[in-house]
Amino acid sequence: MTAASKQHASTKESNYLTAGYGVRSWLLTVDHKRIALLYLISLTTFFSVGGLFAVLIRLELLTPQGDLFQSETYNKLFTMHGIFMVFFFLVPSIPAVLGNFFLPLMIGARDVAFPKLNLLSWYVYAAGGLVTLFAMFAGGVDTGWTFYAPYSSTYANSHVILAALGIFITGFSSILTGVNFIATTHRMRAPGLTWMRLPLFVWANYATSLIMVLGTPVIAVTILLVAIERLLHVGIFDPALGGDPILFQHLFWFYSHPAVYIMILPGMGVMSEIVACFTRKRIFGYKIVAMSSLAIAILGFLVWGHHMFVSGQSMYAGFVFSLLSMLVAVPSAIKVFNWTATMYRGSITFATPMLYALGFIGLFTIGGLTGIFLAAMALDIHVHDTYFVVAHFHYVMVGGMVMAYLGGLHFYWPKMFGRMYHEGLAKVAAVMIFIGFNLTFFPQFLLGYLGMPRRYHVYDEDFQVLNVLSTAGASVLGLGFALPICYLIFSLKFGKKVGDNPWDAAGLEWTISSPPYEHNFHEIPEVTEEAYDYGKREAARV
Amino acid sequence: MFEDFTLFPEAASTVAGGIDRLYFFLIGMTTFAVAGILSALILFSIRYRRRPDRAAQQIDGSVPLEIIWSAIPLALWVFIFGWSAKLYLEIHTTPSEGMTYFVTGKQWMWKIQHPTGQREINTMHVPRGEVVILKLVSEDVIHDFFVPAFRIKQDVLPGTQYTTIWFEATKVGTYDLFCAEYCGTKHSEMIGSVVVMDPADYQAWLDGQPAGQDPVDAGRVLFENLRCVTCHDAGSGQRGPDLSGRFGRPTSLSDGRTVLFDESYVRESILEPKRRLSAGYQPLMPTYTGQVTDTQINQLIAYVKSLANSDVAPKGGDADGGNGQ
Amino acid sequence: MSDATHTGPLAHHFETLEQQNETSAIGMWAFLVQEVMFFGGMFACYIVYRHMYPTAFLEGSAHLDPLLGGINTAVLLGSSLTMALAVRAAQLGKRGQTALLIGATVVLGLVFFGVKYFEYAEKWHHGLVPGLHWAPTGNPDPHLHIFFALYFIMTGMHALHMVIGFVLMAFVGVRALRGRYSPENYIGVEVLGLYWHFVDLVWIFLFPLLYLLSAHLGGGAH
């Protein structure tokens, strides 16, 4: 690596991919771009594992009887699906892959603030993943990803401690990434790049990092307490020993609700980049969109109790949490309106990333508004812990976050690898995912109001028609997800080579070569413009 | 699979209608908003697709617009909050009069005890048009009592406290009862049904059951056998408070706080007597954890409750026994 | 490590030493915020259970020796002083003095551990370790174990942070001896100081909450 980096100044062709070869040059790299790719590979693996579990869950639910798996197995399937998707895919996905790769490029830095810490984050993440995989192969865990006490701490007969340990370890990866991004955003910006000139993707990742740093340690200590309770029976959460299981829920949701914003905020950042580029416009209401990210990060910490309206928590606490939950929906709504308004009088093209962006706006709107159903206490009594909730958070997580992640990946792919994927196939995949997604999850809203509880292995026959629809949709969705994995890998070798700026996009990341040099910038650029300066480009085009 | 197909659950309790109205209002709001956003997306996509001769017009934003589209959703959602909070208050406030059933959840069944002492498992018979109050408690993990047709749901917690929920069924029929909080291997089989009957039919059904022991009588016997009576009676120099006339009223505690003397407080005092001590007494009472079953606790509660309006001292075999010292 | 653009203490991705120092400081502050939240979770448990079982907490606190806790408080405050002096020494470029003061901090930390070991051993002897050796004598409050569970979890986590501090001090101390710090570049010592003061601060909260409850509320029941 050292030899390669010395040569990079002289030969312009050398980039971060060719700066070193061999396993060592990857596993010991401190280059944020290579670390991003390490994350990309491991995240895709965990996503596939989680996806496989989803397929098995949907197959079981094709019929009301529990004919494919035993109850024990089914419970482990949905638990492992939740754990892998939440902790090992959704939480790290955009920050660790696109954030790691593009945050330094967007602010004109040669790397993140603490490159070695960054590599450590990946190792910690991978170690946590391996421990959790081991827990899975050792027999799995059946508590649901929420680990509610006292089931998790006293009654479950599965590998709770191992799985908890895996999540605990991975939490440090989140924390370290958050610390790194905060320091990077504060101190590594290029001259002239003021806060109000930052791309919205940077704002979104900054807000996300704040939540990671403030929230993750709380889940860490909670999970630690569950493990201690399970090992030693000290009475922290076990009511038989005087413990309070509701306290567990408070601590758990204090992290796990903000974690929803860890998952969606970076996706919103990607959205802003894509919408600006493909409408050829500055984002409508830039400052409001930037500030709404911070507002979500802060308000997001004040609403956790809306997960507990039927738990026995005080009614007055419920009122406060319900009202605050209505407030936190406002900044999200503002973002949706601003993206839509950005299209007004734009010059819109419909490349693959833009298709994902349009899908995101539609699905996230549904996901967000069904959140209002759940924040309304009286209605939540009925739909709490039913498939309505499952549908709601999949609309936000998959319809929002995964659509944004895929959109971002398609947007930045040519920059990351210097090659273009097959656009036709990519559009087919985007449409398949959109249709498959809706077919999978829309029926679940109806199932939820009908009263089908979540985490049910066998169910009432009245619910079968909608479950069959949902499983049919899942098969389309599954194929839709498999397609990009194929054509993206194919493009690495056979894709058409592209120039430095195939989308003619604004932003420092597009001013350097594709793929970027090892240290990004030969000279640190001086920034003199606002973000999304598409006016000049448009004037030149027409 | 199509014969039972439906998109909307049956509504069979007094609160169901109110919740359904809120639901439909929210569906209306969502449909309107999604239709609006989608029309704008489609319209802009067509109208402003790229043309060689037209440049995108750079617009920084608009403060009035931002205010409008923040204020309108905010106002709407605060309105929804108010509506749902009012409804929640209605659902959450338990009527003072009603038939009290005790429901115990355990992996993976529901045990139900009628006000008159009859017991059932996983099936619960109730009369139509009567307020039914459920005192819920779990023997192991957290469960959740969910009857979709009544639109009610309440977590069932292990420990010393009951959670409470109530309903008044409006339609005769048999309705699903689900456990809605994941509780382990056979969570999805922890189901049952609520059978709503005409009051007369309900009475007939009750009469047809093996005569359940009257909970008050059973509680009185327990009260003596467990020697509760030695401390808790109206005699002089007692070590524990006299329990007559206390139930349903606030009672002051030794640490200066006040607590409602209700089912939960009686249950807690049997299981963890030192936790909230009545004012003026020493922490002498031992715990009865492990010595009494949930059924027996329910009977003791029924007995203590029966003393609520009596001025008579509890009928103990030896009314003066044990507190001579 | 690749170092394409600079040599010396300045890492390749920074433009100036000042930028590098500021970045390290802000990184440590962000990390300490996360530490606050980590201990915050445990303090939240403490508040809830103390409210639920006030008598158990009074009784538990009476089992702890405020004198030993007080000595440990003084020892830790002393170690914060030596740490602060170490930062000062590094700032003045006195490498030997820096290393020596860091060493003194470690020694004071070990004294703290000595006292703590004595206290833990005594709790074990009296059967006051929930989950492992729980056999309190007399007529203990039924929820006494919750107080001691929190006592061991909170002081144990605090001790773990001290151990991590020792490892960091060994690392920074050796670097100081080798002259890796200078008046322009002593940020390593400074962020270590920030960390150590934080660990100290946690104890400042733990001491009254655990040791002084009975002396304060129980009218000197000890």
CATH of the domain at A27: 1.20.210.10
Q: Does any domain span residue A81?
A: yes
pLDDT tens for each residue of A433-477: 999 999 999 999 999 999 999 999 999 998 999 999 999 999 999
**Which residues of C make CB contacts under 8 Å with A?**
1-2, 4-5, 11-13, 15, 19, 22-24, 26-27, 30-31, 33-35, 37-42, 44-45, 48-49, 52-53, 130-132, 142-143, 145-146, 149-150, 153
Instruction: Tell me which fold the domain B215-306 belongs to.
Output: Cytochrome Bc1 Complex; Chain D, domain 2 (1.10.760)
A483 confidence band (pLDDT: 50, 70, 90): very high
Q: How many residues does chain A have?
A: 542
Return per-residue pLDDT of chain B as tens, 325 residues: 566 677 889 999 999 999 999 999 999 999 999 999 999 999 999 999 999 999 999 999 999 999 999 999 999 999 999 999 999 999 999 998 899 999 999 999 999 999 888 889 999 999 999 999 999 999 999 999 999 999 999 999 998 889 999 999 999 999 999 999 999 999 999 999 999 999 999 999 988 887 667 888 888 888 888 888 878 876 656 678 888 778 888 888 887 788 888 888 888 888 888 788 888 888 788 888 888 888 888 888 888 888 876 554 444 333 333 332 2
Concatenating the DSSP letter of every residue in A193-221 gives --GGGS-HHHHHHHHHHHHHHHHHHHHHH
Which residue of chain B is at minimal alpha-carbon distance from A76? B185
Spatial neighbors of A291 by CB under 8 A, at least 6 apart, are: none
Chain C: partners with 3+ C-beta pairs within 8 Å = A, B
Distance from CA of C61 to the nearest CA of A (A): 17
Query: A305 touching C, CB under 8 A?
Result: no
| Cβ contact A211:A300 at 8 Å | yes
Q: What is the four-CA torsion angle of A531, A532, A536, A541, rounded to 10 degrees?
A: 160
Distance from CA of C44 to the nearest CA of A (A): 9
C124 interaction partners in chain A (CB closer than 8 Å): none
Q: Please give the Cα distance from C44 to C205 (Å, whole number).
A: 13
Distance from CA of C156 to the nearest CA of B (A): 28
B2 interaction partners in chain A (CB closer than 8 Å): 465
Distance from CA of A207 to the nearest CA of C (A): 13
pLDDT tens for each residue of A135-193: 999 999 999 999 998 999 989 988 999 999 999 999 999 999 999 999 999 999 999 99
CATH for the stretch C31-217: 1.20.120.80
Residue C4 has pLDDT above 50, yes or no: no
Query: A221 touching C, CB under 8 A?
Result: yes
Residue A3 has pLDDT above 60, yes or no: no
A506 confidence band (pLDDT: 50, 70, 90): very high
pLDDT tens for each residue of B133-161: 999 999 999 999 999 999 999 999 998 88
User: Domain limits of chain B?
Assistant: 10-43+68-93, 99-208, 215-306
Q: Please give the Cα distance from B92 to B86 (Å, whole number).
A: 10
Distance from CA of C65 to the nearest CA of B (A): 26
Quote the pLDDT of residue A12.
Answer: 53
Kindly provide the b/e burial profile for residues B204-243, where b requires at least 16 CB atoms within 10 angstroms of the residue's own CB: eebeeeeeebebbebbbebbbeeebbbbbbebeeeebbeb
**How high is the ipTM of this complex?**
0.91
Q: Please give the Cα distance from B130 to B114 (Å, whole number).
A: 13
Q: Does any domain span residue A13?
A: no
**E strand spans, A413-471:** 419-420
Q: How many domains are there within chain A?
A: 1
Q: Which structural domain range is residue A191 located in?
A: 21-541
Chain B: partners with 3+ C-beta pairs within 8 Å = A, C
| % of chain A at pLDDT higher than 90 | 89
DSSP B145: E
CA distances from A118 to A30, A115, A203, A212, B8 (A): 7, 5, 19, 15, 51
Mean pLDDT, chain A, rounded, equals: 93
3-state helix, strand, coil in chain A (%, to 5): 70, 0, 25
CATH for the stretch B99-208: 2.60.40.420
CB contact under 8 A, A183 and C132: no
Substitution target in C10, C32, C34 with the highest count of A β-carbons within 10 Å is C34
Q: Please give the Cα distance from B81 to C202 (Å, whole number).
A: 40
CB contact under 8 A, C130 and A232: yes
